[in-house]
Each structure stands twice: as C-alpha cells, then as structure tokens.
Amino acid sequence: MAKKIKDPGIGRSSNQYARRFINSDGSFNIKHINRSTSLSGSYDYLISISWVKFFLWVLFGYILINTLFAIIYTFLGISSIVEPSGSVFRDFLNAFFFSAQTITTVGYGAMAPKGLLFGVISSFEALIGLLSFSFITGLLYGRFSKPRANIQFSDSIVLKEHKGVDCVMFRLMSSSANVMIRPRIEATLSLSLEDENGKYNNNFYNLKLERNSITYLPTTWTVVHPIVEASPLYEFDRGQLNALNGEILILVSYYDESFSQEVHQVHSYVLKKIKIDESFIPAFYYDKEGYTILDHDKLDETKTTS
C-alpha cells in the first residue's frame, strides 16, 4: 500500500474547481492579489518575461519618455529648437525627433536648443537617457546570464504495459545542443479526494521511478513509473485513472555547463490527459556515417500499441 508523504509545499486544501498546480510552461498556477511592488520585483519581472514582451516594454518606455519631453518642448515653444512650421502636429513631431536625438545623445546638428531653459531641460533628458540605457544594458546582461534549465518535456503522458506491468511514462530531452550532466528527477503525485464531510483535500505520494537519475542525457529519457503494489495508482484500474483529479509534479535538476552550476525545472502532468495503450516512437536514429540524429519534433509522437 502506498504511503502518504508530507505536503511538499503546495498545500492540502482543495475543492472540486481546483486547477492544476503547475502550468505547462513550468510556472505555478497562482494569482497574486494585494501584493506590494518594488524595483527589485520589476527587475525580476523584466528578466523573466519573453523577449517579445521585453522589447515591447523597452519600445513603450522609449516612446513614452520622448512623447513627454516632446510635449514640454512644444508647450514652451518649438522656436527655441527649430523654426515653427505653422502646424501643431508637425511641430510636435520635430520636438519628438529632437527628444529622440537628445535622449540617445546622437545629436545630428539639424536641431539644437537655444536659451538657458531649453539647455537645462535637454541636459536633464540626456541624463535620463544615459541612466535608461544603462538600466536596459543591465537587464540584457541579467537575461543572458540568468541560469535557465533547457528541458523539453513531452506533451503526452502514456500508460502501457512494460515488463509485464502497467507503467506510466513521459519523455524529456534537452532543448539545446548541450548535454545534460547527471540529471535526476523527483516525481510527486497529488490526488484531490473528497472526504466523508464533503471537503476536498490534497493527498501527496512519492512516485517510485524505474530510474530517477542517469549520468548524462545527450538524447531522450523516457521516465517510467511501474504501477506495482507500492504505487498510489495500484488501487485504480485503467478506466479510473482518467477520472482522477490527480497531477504528477515533476522536478528535474542537472548540471549545466553553460552556466557552470546546477539548474532546476518544474513541470507537471494531469492524469485526465493520460493516453492508454500508446507508446513513444524513437526520436533519434543513426545516419550512414554513424552519427546520432536527434529529431526534436518527434519528442511527443506516440503510436498505439498492439
């Protein structure tokens, strides 16, 4: 009989509407409210978001600062920068372009501030530009230097007979060309069950794997959990597994040569999406010259077992 373990940090309380703990991208499924913000929190956010979102924020900040200074220059009088055109919109565009040249310290020479007031304002803007670009440079360094695990998990989790026993399997590989050194896996099963009082509670179990560590991983690794008597899934038949409100929580750790340190990545699979009597097809093969060819597109491909 399977032994329950202590709460790994998720929490035991649950209900019938509870979603998975870990999203498919590895983030925890938590919404924060009434959370205080800080500059360090903004830094963490900006080095963690996608590259597209990051550059959109940079572009937004660049346009916002230049727009604010362009409004100031236009309000105080564009004649102190360039000859007025007679059009408010064209004068605003000239002020915007002057602001862009000032904040980037380009200074083409076609427009220049006249008078003490405009000299002070443009000097202050140049200082903001220097600080802003230093901050962005720091963010770029933080994004490149932040250790990240490059693990690609199969979308599918399968159930098939292996060595005469039903086994739950999933597959993973390195998403980069780097070899994962000494990868190891911890798998925890969370089952949300209703008690006699009608309340839902999370029950946690360690899933014993066929192998929970290997020396290195240059290709793919099919992780196997045999459903034997000690397994928490042993008391359920195949038809019941898809109906369980269960989630397999995965923690993978390995040494990454790129960062010269150990990195970690979390992932999860919900039992409702398990594929029964399917198996993964090989994702690598050998060419005529003897090289191992690893096809990343085949990581999730499965076939029906006979």
Tens digits of residue pLDDT in 68-126: 999 999 988 888 888 888 888 898 998 999 999 999 888 777 788 888 888 899 889 99
3-state secondary structure of 89: helix
3-state secondary structure of 191: strand
Sorting pLDDT into bands at 50, 70 and 90, what band is 227? Answer: very high
pLDDT of residue 86: 81
φ, ψ for residue 131, nearest 5 deg: -65, -40
Domain with CATH 2.60.40.1400 in the chain: 148-304
pLDDT digit string (tens) for 236-248?
A: 888 888 888 888 9
- 39-145 maps to which CATH number? 1.10.287.70
How many angstroms separate the CA atoms of 55 and 6, rounded?
43
Q: Which residue has the higher pLDDT, 31 or 293?
A: 293
Beta bridge partners of 188: 206, 249
Domain with CATH 1.10.287.70 in the chain: 39-145
pLDDT at 181 over 70: yes
Task: Give the type of residue at 190.
Answer: S
Beta bridge partners of 203: 191
pLDDT of residue 306: 65
pLDDT of residue 1: 58
Residue in 38, 11, 47 with CA at minimum distance from that of residue 200: 11
CATH number for 148-304: choose from 1.10.3720.10, 2.60.40.1400, 3.30.300.30, 3.40.640.10: 2.60.40.1400
pLDDT of residue 215: 94
Q: Give the length of the chain.
A: 306
Q: Which residue has the higher pLDDT, 149 or 171?
A: 171
**Mean pLDDT calculated for residue range 271-279:** 90
pLDDT of residue 248: 92
Q: Which of 8-22, 99-113, 232-246, 259-273 shows the lowest per-residue confidence on average (mean pLDDT)?
A: 8-22
Fill in the DSSP letter of residue 28. Answer: B
